[in-house]
Each structure stands twice: as C-alpha cells, then as structure tokens.
Structure 1
Amino acid sequence: MDRAVDRIVIEGAHVVTVTGQEFAGGHVVVEGNRITAVGPGPAPDRAGARVVDARGCLLTPGLVNTHHHLYQWVTRGLAVDATLFEWLTTLYPVWAGIDEHAVHTGATGALAALARSGCTTTTDHHYVFPREGGDVLGAEIRAAAEVGLRFHPTRGSMDLGRSAGGLPPDHVVEDTATILAASADAVARWHDPSPDSMLRIALAPCSPFSVTGDLMRESAALARELGVRLHTHLAETADEEDFCRERFGCTPTEYVADLGWTGSDVWFAHTVHLDDAAVKTIGTSGTGVAHCPTSNGRLGAGIARVRDLLDAGARVGLGVDGAASNEGTSLLEEVKHAVLFARAVGGPTALGVRRALELGTLGGAQVLGRAAEIGSIEPGKLADLAVWRLDGPLHADVADPVAALVLGAPPPLELLLVNGRPVVEAGEVRTVDGAAVAAACADVHRTLVAKAG
C-alpha cells in the first residue's frame, strides 16, 4: 500500500457527519490516521497537505460491514434458486475443499469488492476449517492487510455434524476441545485491542443447527475471559425456528439467551424470524444485530424487523453476508436495500435515507464496539472516509445528495481512506491488482467445483 500522506485536506464536498451535521461545500482535515477538523467552507490551513478537490462529491464515513463469509467469493453463482438449508447442503461439499490458497484468494477478491463499495471496516465469520486446509484464518487476515481494510475476523466453529442431528456433514466439523484451543490461540496471535487497531478477533460458533449448546456456553465463557466479542447466526429462516422448537422446545432467541448469548458484547447475524418477546430481549439487553437484507432476499429468508429492533434499543448495523448468497458484495447496496425492505413492510416512514446511512456507518461501529473510534466524521476519530462522485449524469440533478447516494445508482467512489491511507482512488483499488485477483478467483472456483465432483 502507498505510504500514508501526513496531512490530507478534502474540501468542496457535501460532508455528512452522520451525527446530525451536514456541510455543503465543507472540508475535512486528516493528519496521520486521524480526523483533526471538519466544518463548512474551505479548510483554514492547507500548508503541507495533499489537497483533494471534492467539489461535486459527497463525503461520508467509511461503511462498516458487520457480517460476511469472505472465502465464499470463489463459490458464487451456485444453488441460486435454493432455500438456505438447500443452499448449505449443496455448498458444504465444495467448501470442504478450501485451503489457505483458496481462502486467501477468495478473501482478497471479496475485500477488494467491499472497498469499491465504500467499506473501510469489515468482519468475517469463518467457520469451515478442513483438516488439511492449513492456516485458513491466517490466510484471510493476510488478505485484509494487503487490501488495507480494518478487519474484525471471527474464529468460527461447528461441532454438531449430521450424524448427531446437525446440518453440516461430519467431515467439516471439529470437536469442542479443538475449537476452544484454536479460539484461544487466534486471540493470542492476532487480537489487537488498541484504539487504533486494524485487527480484532471475536469468537463465533456458527448457528444453533451446527453447534452444540456446550460449545456455545464454553465459547461465551472463553470470550469474556479473553475480553473479545461474540457472534453467531440467529433466526435467519423459518427452518431454524422449527429446528429449535423441535430440538430444544423454544425459539432460537430463547435458546441462545439461556446459554449466556445476549449483551453488549454479542451480535447476531440476520434475526429475520423474531417474535415480540425476542425483539424485546435483544433490545433490552443491548445486543447487536447485523441486518443483511440482500442475502435475506436472495435466499428467500424474509425481512428483518429492523424498525422494531431499533425502537426496542438494539444496536443495528448492516452486513453483506457471504459472497455466495450475495454475489454483488456491495455494502452500499445493503444501505439501499435496508431502506426498501423496511418500507416494503412498514411504509414510507419506516426507515429514512439518513438513518439507513447511519446504520451502515455508526450503527456498524456500535455493533463492533468501535463507535468511539470510527463510524462518523468527528475530530479525533480515525480517518476512515469515503468520497462519492455525484456530479455525473446519474446523480447531478438529484436534489438531496444523501438520497442520490442511498436510492440512486451506485456512484463512482472518488477516494476511500482507511486509517488515513488511500485504498481506492478514482474507482480503482490501488493496493492489489484487480485483474490478477479476478483470474486467480476464477481458477480457484473451477478447482473447488471439480474437487467436489
């Protein structure tokens, strides 16, 4: 990656801080990796700075992705008309063949796509660890460092195979002791709790239908002992609701709450199928939610009760989910779909365009416990910023620049700064060779499909 410029001045843009302030023709000053000034008009001091002329642009915080499966980038376009359970059973044999090379390649492709969509921070929920696959978690961590995104990967896990009543085939699950040891090792090797951190680890047993209650309980205890966060899929489909009622005699939310899985250090992916009691439990406990509208639509899972969750006090961010259930992997698209899906069921006032942008930025930062550092444009925060060009033919005559970004066609990304460093300029990722990555991803896809037979 190019060395950071010590001082960058971005001026002339419509600046949306997402804290309630907007400045038409405003400026933001970045020194090192932090924002030092934001306000109306030109910057008062440009001395020694790289000056970015952002007239005709919208400046927002970088987007924050709260749920992903990066390796799936190399398995896109399979089982496109399937339900979640059908999709999983089709793809598990393909995923069983992944290794360090496949994961590094797929993660690089997915991370570059996220960057092009304005994303500066992303999580990843990696839970497939083939016995002969090598260090697959390390492979995606290396990819994130190369692309240059702030990264919150999770050490995922599955210990409930098909022979024990779970969904995944036995050859892609691990035993509980191995998982806990590997989870502790991942935190020891990689977790950086510092305020400027580019890399934080969380623990993430996969889902109620692929892990045991013992693993959920012990993972929660381990995470709290080590001071890291907890993540899992929850209430994504009606099938999961049926599975939990038949196996445990309760709803998915009741099941995980009984295992210690609620609170400000926990976030759930999806939460589509919630009753009123579940909404209240998540809200009153301050648990986080990763809303993934595109994937939920692609798999026919349904529409999450985002307005109700927000009203109940839940912390809500956005996620693209796995690349194989969201072939576009655009976080900006999630902002748009969050608005459209909420209004489809709740009417035109269910979610405004500015609140949706907030979910994609500060909301995601709150879910990940980073709201003091990222997610809004304020002096002292880390310089994770997106500059969107809105003076082209698709956007120039849209009266509201935020509506142009959220509801219009995806605009060109003029500049993406992560930790004060340029990652995207003039719509192109500058840190990796896009053509070479695309060719490598296609090759890995062919290899995995052929290996699965």
Structure 2
Amino acid sequence: MINQAEIKADLAIEARWIVPVVPQNQVLEHESVIIKDGRIIDVLSTESARQKYDAEHTIDLNEHILIPGLINLHTHSAMTLMRGLADDLPLMTWLNEHIWPVESKMLSSQFVHNGSLLGCAEMLSGGTTCFSDMYFYPQATAEAALQAGMRANLGLVVLDFATPYASDADDYLQKGLESRDSWRGKPLLSASLAPHAPYTVSNSSFEKIITYAEQLGLSIHTHLHETQDELAQSITQYGVRPLRRLADLGVLGPNFYAAHGVHLDDAEIKMLHEYGCHIAHCPASNLKLASGIAPVKALLEQQVNVGIGTDGAASNNRLDMFAEMRLAALLAKGVTADATAVPAAQALQMATLNAARALGLDEQIGSIEVNKLADLTAVKIKSPETLPCYDPISHLVYTLGREHVSHVWVGGDLRYQKLGDQEGIFANIEPAELREINALWHGRLQQYK
C-alpha cells in the first residue's frame, strides 16, 4: 500500500483563487495545482494536496488568481520594432506608405529575431504563454520564442510579390517549409500556412497552400474582411467578396482561422459556422486603424469559435491581452446595446481555450485541467486599484491588467516572475539584451518616423 503523502510531484501551486476556464464561470478557492513533468496531474484543495503530494517545490499564492496562460491568436511579434512609427493612419495608407517601405529597407533575419524577442518579453510579462505569429523569417521568430521559453504557432507567410525575404509565392512556401522542418520536434513550436490576405494572394497560390495544408496537416491563417476597401477590391477583381472566394477555392474548414472578420454579413457568419472556421478578434487594432468593429456577439451566437489577438505593436502599440479582453467585452456591449453581450467569463475563454481550439491545441492548453500542459499565469490582487474583489472572473477582465501579473509558467517551468514593485525577471532574457535591441533599431528606424 502506497503512502499517499509520498506521491512525488515537481511543483505545487497553492492559490487563493483558481479560474480553470473549464467549466466556464467556475472559481475554486484555496485549491492547489499539482504539476509533474510539465503537466497538471491534480487540482484539489490545498489541505488535501499537502497530505497527498510531496512536491519538490511549493509556491504560496495567497493573494492571487491563477488562470491558464493567455493565448494571443494573432500577432506579428517582430513588428514590435515599429511600435509608434506610423500612427493615426488608415490601414492601406499605413501599409503602402509606411510599413512596407520600412520593411523593404530593413527586413532581415536579425530584424525579425530582435523584434520578436522584444515582443516575446512584452507578451510573457503580460501573462501570455502562447502566440500565433505571421511574419517573414519565421525561423528567427522561432529562435526568439525558444529563448523566451514561450509556446508559438509560427505562420509561414505567403505573398505574390517580392520582399527581401522571398521572391514569389513558391519561394515563400519553400523557405517557410524549410524553416518548419528545422524546428520539428521542438514541443513549444508548431506551424501554420499564412497567406497574408486574399488581396495579396492569387487563386493559384491559394490552391498550392491548400495542397500543402492537406498533405502536412497544417492550419491556414490569414487576414480577412478587415476593411471595406478589401471587400470592394475583391468584388471588382473576382466578382465576389473574399470569404465567398475562399469558400469556392476550398480554403475554408476547421483548420482555417482568420484575423479580424470585421465586415461580415449574416450569411457569411453562417458560412463560417458551417465550415467550422475560427476568428481572431483584434479589437484595439481594428479601432486604431478605423477598420471597424467585428460582430462578435453575432459570431458567438452562431457558434463560431472566436479567440482574441493583439495584432502587431505597429498597429496596436501594445501586445496586451488583458487590455484586449476588456475592450472585446466592452465593445460588444456598446455596439449591441446589450450589457450581457460577451460577459467576463466569455472574454476570458476567448483569450484562452477558444484561441487554443483555433490552433488545434485545446487538448493541451487553454484551461486548467488534469493532463493538460502547465501553462499558467498568476495575477496578484493587493494594490489599492485592485481592491476589493468580489468576483475574480469579473476582476480579471474589468479591473486587473498586465502590470498585476506576478508569475508565468510554460510547461511547468517558471519563465517570468515579478516580486512586489521590483522589475520583472525573465528566466532566459536579459534586460541588457532588450536595451541593446532598442538602441540599435531605434537609431536605424527613426528616420522613417
């Protein structure tokens, strides 16, 4: 007979509150999460945990809410280097006259690695443990994510025009797939095919992408229905709106997730549901570029899976998932005149489990459940602006911010910690390295301001 007190574990996290996300709206009080070999092996009362498990390490979070690590479903992490470079402009002006010209001069593997590492540090310190990226030189972003110890789905970007990274769609695909091959076997990394947008990718290129996605079991990640100009251009060139064009090409399916989805009519929302597609809602970026407000309530009512993303720091200025959750909930209420639209628990689920589902990772991450990977974020409630707390779930969305994140684990490994008012400490990123990155690229890029 085994003495229960001798069951070995690597880590016991004793929390004041746990919000597991599954089931929705549940709050556990004075319970512990037990971790072994990077996975959650038990969630039980702290009193019982102390009797049952002999953990190598125990951490007491008696003023904290423990949640699943946040998942940023759409970003361009390397574009952190262009934060604030071209503000207060509409999307196509922003792209054509500012972002693409800068990329044509500055884009390189070093640019992407440095920008991605800066972005990873920002996301990790804000409680994000996994992000879905779309950018050039994905191998450079992969190296940054591995250094940070974050989980990442790296989009293998495809365009029909040349950049410093690649010359045409075939070149993009070849380089992207070679990068994917180089990181296969790395448990923190996965890949998707990332045609930039319907207005930058031809039918023949989409057909190649579909073939590769089917053969390799990869998701397809694109921008979609972001602006009215995009819709008008598609009707002029193809005779149909972009979503219908993608449906006719055979792009849509459960492995398809699209960023934005701002301009969707009822028939298109129904189509997304029928094909089992997913939407990455990026509320701050859509507002800042004056693209519009996505019909999130209607999407959710049609049972379309909606996650949350920040987009890049060049169009949002922040890779802040707490801010996005709050904005997503408030916008849904404001545009529908329905105070019950996107309640706090729904917003939190969009930033965790729904995003995991879009990435095909919902069996592994996105909630605090036994056998899932221990990707966890702790948020501290102590400072005056956080008190009092009556409802921890509501607090997470409407009161707390990334500045209240105290601990972040990925696969059970502590990747970030902030004690009191001290500067946060990363496991694998030195503050001096981030300062050097900023000094280098600020000097090179400020001429484009």
TM normalised by structure 2 equals 0.91
Q: Percent identity?
A: 32
1:83 and 2:76 matched: no
Aligned to 1:256: 246
Output the CA distance in 2 between the equivalents of 1:341 and 1:399: 23
Using the TM superposition, give the Cα deviation of residue 172 of structure 1 relative to its aligned residue in structure 2, in angstroms: 7.2
Residue 273 (structure 1) aligned to one of 244, 263, 270: 263
Aligned to 1:133: none
Output the CA distance in 1 between the equivalents of 2:399 and 2:280: 23
Output the CA distance in 2 between the equivalents of 1:236 and 1:444: 29
Residue 414 (structure 1) aligned to one of 388, 406, 431: 406
1:399-429 per-residue CA deviation (whole Å, 9 max, x = no partner) reads 1122222101415212110011001112433
Q: SS of 1:77's equivalent?
A: coil
Aligned to 2:43: 38
Output the CA distance in 2 between the equivalents of 1:173 and 1:84: 23
1:112 and 2:110 matched: no
Q: SS of 2:257's equivalent?
A: strand
Q: How does 1:151-190 map to 2 (within 5 A)?
A: 151-160=152-161, 174-190=167-183
Aligned to 2:101: 93
Q: Compute the RMSD of aligned alpha carbons.
A: 1.9
The amino acid of 1:78's aligned partner reads L
Aligned to 1:430: 427
The amino acid of 2:409's aligned partner reads L
Aligned to 1:316: 306
Using the TM superposition, give the Cα deviation of residue 49 of structure 1 relative to its aligned residue in structure 2, in angstroms: 2.5
Output the CA distance in 1 between the equivalents of 2:177 and 2:427: 34
Structure 1 pair 80–432 and aligned structure 2 pair: CA distance change class (3 A): same
Structure 1 pair 438–236 and aligned structure 2 pair: CA distance change class (3 A): farther
Using the TM superposition, give the Cα deviation of residue 59 of structure 1 relative to its aligned residue in structure 2, in angstroms: 0.6
Output the CA distance in 2 between the equivalents of 1:104 and 1:277: 41
Output the CA distance in 2 between the equivalents of 1:298 and 1:334: 13
Using the TM superposition, give the Cα deviation of residue 252 of structure 1 relative to its aligned residue in structure 2, in angstroms: 1.4
The amino acid of 1:175's aligned partner reads D
1:183-212 per-residue CA deviation (whole Å, 9 max, x = no partner) reads 3323333244x9xx2111111110122111
Output the CA distance in 1 between the equivalents of 2:289 and 2:342: 23
Using the TM superposition, give the Cα deviation of residue 449 of structure 1 relative to its aligned residue in structure 2, in angstroms: 4.5
Aligned to 2:379: 388
Q: How does 1:182-221 map to 2 (within 5 A)?
A: 182-192=175-185, 197-221=187-211
Q: SS of 1:146's equivalent?
A: helix
Using the TM superposition, give the Cα deviation of residue 52 of structure 1 relative to its aligned residue in structure 2, in angstroms: 0.9
Residue 358 (structure 1) aligned to one of 341, 349, 358: 349
1:58 and 2:48 matched: no
Output the CA distance in 1 between the equivalents of 2:264 and 2:84: 29
Higher mean displacement: 271-280 or 421-430: 421-430
1:60-111 per-residue CA deviation (whole Å, 9 max, x = no partner) reads 0001111111111111112211001011011111112221111111000001
Residue 245 (structure 1) aligned to one of 229, 235, 238: 235
Aligned residues: 429
The amino acid of 1:37's aligned partner reads D
Does the CA contact (< 8 Å) of 1:15 and 1:58 recur in 2?
A: yes
| Structure 1 unaligned residues grouped into runs of 5+ | 129-135, 162-169
1:327-378 per-residue CA deviation (whole Å, 9 max, x = no partner) reads 1111121111110111111221111001110110001100000111100001
The amino acid of 2:119's aligned partner reads A
Using the TM superposition, give the Cα deviation of residue 119 of structure 1 relative to its aligned residue in structure 2, in angstroms: 0.6
1:96-132 per-residue CA deviation (whole Å, 9 max, x = no partner) reads 2221111111000001100111111111101x4xxxx
Using the TM superposition, give the Cα deviation of residue 314 of structure 1 relative to its aligned residue in structure 2, in angstroms: 1.5
Does the CA contact (< 8 Å) of 1:12 and 1:56 recur in 2?
A: yes
Aligned to 1:73: 80
Q: SS of 2:382's equivalent?
A: coil
Q: How does 1:328-407 map to 2 (within 5 A)?
A: 328-346=318-336, 347-407=338-398
Residue 14 (structure 2) aligned to one of 11, 14, 25: 11
1:139-197 per-residue CA deviation (whole Å, 9 max, x = no partner) reads 11110000110111011021147xxxxxxxx77763232223223323333244x9xx2
Using the TM superposition, give the Cα deviation of residue 33 of structure 1 relative to its aligned residue in structure 2, in angstroms: 0.4
Does the CA contact (< 8 Å) of 2:107 and 2:164 recur in 1?
A: no
| Structure 2 unaligned residues grouped into runs of 5+ | 1-7, 419-423
Does the CA contact (< 8 Å) of 1:264 and 1:287 recur in 2?
A: yes
The amino acid of 1:436's aligned partner reads E
The amino acid of 1:57's aligned partner reads H
Aligned to 1:301: 291
1:273-324 per-residue CA deviation (whole Å, 9 max, x = no partner) reads 0011110111111101111111111111111111211221212111111110
Output the CA distance in 2 between the equivalents of 1:362 and 1:323: 23
Q: SS of 1:200's equivalent?
A: strand
Aligned to 1:23: 28
The amino acid of 2:213's aligned partner reads A
Q: SS of 1:284's equivalent?
A: helix
